[in-house]
């Protein structure tokens, strides 16, 4: 039989990550010598704090360069549980924790471990780009639940309830939300947990931005009463500690589910990088003032970006309560000068003004674009000057 290059049905169902695609395009243009302002991918511009890097140098010097247990080193699993307890008042034990190669990997592990072909997974929109594809890869059926921009993209348990069916297996939450910056209200979180226990579905909470909250105290749905029965946490060190390239995340949840994830991990990646695990240990156990310092700079940038966007004709923007993205509505500009979708807008902005952003359509919401403000003040100023000029051109 002839050898074909037809991809498996699983891979044919998914597409390349849109955030990664934008990052790749911006990088390619820069390599060609173009002056690109990259407000596309969400990645802290801060270097990893020195005490974290020191722990990695020390790991190399002391030859901590071999396999570790597939689930991660016990002291790091313990440290994750302790940090989560200190930050959010939960009480996970190390057996309910596994270390992953980034937060995305924790999401992937949980979905693979729990979702069967045909199972429905409710994904509120706007959603982070990867959830839909992770569900499709597992053969599940994504059920997209739109939230309303005029309501600040708030998620209501009553809206989730209306989408439940006998096939509902999971609800994927992401608060603070990427891309909108919306927060989850504590009362709604408690209702969602009640609903999950009653109807029998899992809540997968992606807490990648849980430490980056501007308004009020950071909060985890895993601290809601009854959460230990139905909540799974996918966490990451990438954003809070400026450690994107180190690829360290974690999963928290009932031991049986964690064991399933570890089984999968033992056949896929094995352990996350041993040196990065030592660095992660220093991040979680060391001084936390670096997180607070970065957060206050993000807050200043948020205020600047929101102020600038609100001064532009036809643009409205909800003030992000957390994370480091602004998700302005550009719908009033569509239909002008051949720009008819958010993807056209983003493409023209990159081609004509050399500013990278991600179209709202990638997050399941047309008529918006996402701008990351995890960029220096100077870059933000340059990027927003160009953005403003582009908006003016569309109106002209």
Interface residue list for ligand GLU (CB under 6 A): 17, 19-20, 41-42, 104, 128-130, 178
Q: Which is nearer to ligand GLU, 203 or 357 (CB)?
A: 357
Q: Which is nearer to ligand GLU, 129 or 213 (CB)?
A: 129
C-beta of 58: minimal distance to ligand GLU in Å? 28
C-beta of 129: minimal distance to ligand GLU in Å? 6
C-beta of 143: minimal distance to ligand GLU in Å? 22
CA angle (297, 388, 322) in 5-degree steps: 30
When CB distances to ligand GLU are compared, the closest residue is 42
C-beta of 208: minimal distance to ligand GLU in Å? 7
Q: Which is nearer to ligand GLU, 14 or 197 (CB)?
A: 14
Q: Which is nearer to ligand GLU, 96 or 130 (CB)?
A: 130
- Cα(181)–Cα(178) distance, rounded to whole angstroms? 6
Question: Can you give the three-state secondary structure of 187-233, one letter per residue?
Answer: HHHHHHHHHHHHHCCEEEEECCCCCCECCCCCCCHHHCCCHHHHEEE
Q: Which is nearer to ligand GLU, 42 or 328 (CB)?
A: 42
C-beta of 109: minimal distance to ligand GLU in Å? 15
Q: Which is nearer to ligand GLU, 41 or 164 (CB)?
A: 41
C-beta of 19: minimal distance to ligand GLU in Å? 4
């Amino acid at each position: 039989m002839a050898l074909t290059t037809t991809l498996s049905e699983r891979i044919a169902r998914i597409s390349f990550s849109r955030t990664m695609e934008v990052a790749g395009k911006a990088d390619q243009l820069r390599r060609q010598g173009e002056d690109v302002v990259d407000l596309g991918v969400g990645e802290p511009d801060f270097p990893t704090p020195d005490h974290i890097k020191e722990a990695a140098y020390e790991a190399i010097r002391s030859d901590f360069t071999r396999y570790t247990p597939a689930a991660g080193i016990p002291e790091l699993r313990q440290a994750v549980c302790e940090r989560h307890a200190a930050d959010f008042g939960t009480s996970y034990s190390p057996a309910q924790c596994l270390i992953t190669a980034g937060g995305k990997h924790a999401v992937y592990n949980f979905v693979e471990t729990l979702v069967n072909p045909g199972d429905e997974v409710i994904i509120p929109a706007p959603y982070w780009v990867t959830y839909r594809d992770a569900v499709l890869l597992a053969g599940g059926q994504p059920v997209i639940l739109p939230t309303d921009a005029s309501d600040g993209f708030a998620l209501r348990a009553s809206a989730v309830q209306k989408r439940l069916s006998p096939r509902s297996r999971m609800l994927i939450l992401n608060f603070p939300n990427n891309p909108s910056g919306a927060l989850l209200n504590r009362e709604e979180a408690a209702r969602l947990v009640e609903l999950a226990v009653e109807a029998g579905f899992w809540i997968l909470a992606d807490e990648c931005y849980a430490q980056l909250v501007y308004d009020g105290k950071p909060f985890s749905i895993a601290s809601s009463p009854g959460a230990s029965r139905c909540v799974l946490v996918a966490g990451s060190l990438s954003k809070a500690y400026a450690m994107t390239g180190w690829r360290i995340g974690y999963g928290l949840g009932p031991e049986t589910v964690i064991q399933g994830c570890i089984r999968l991990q033992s056949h896929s990646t094995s352990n996350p990088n041993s040196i990065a695990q030592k660095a992660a240990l220093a991040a979680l156990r060391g001084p936390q003032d670096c997180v607070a310092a970065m957060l206050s700079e993000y807050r200043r940038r948020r205020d600047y970006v929101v102020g600038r966007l609100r001064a532009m004709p036809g643009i409205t923007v909800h003030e992000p309560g957390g994370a480091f993205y602004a998700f302005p509505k550009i719908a009033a500009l569509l239909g002008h000068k051949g720009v008819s979708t958010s993807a056209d807008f983003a493409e023209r902005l990159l081609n004509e003004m050399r500013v990278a952003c991600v179209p709202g359509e990638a997050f399941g919401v047309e008529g918006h674009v996402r701008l990351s403000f995890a960029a220096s003040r100077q870059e933000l100023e340059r990027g927003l000057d160009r953005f403003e000029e582009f908006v003016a051109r569309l109106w002209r």
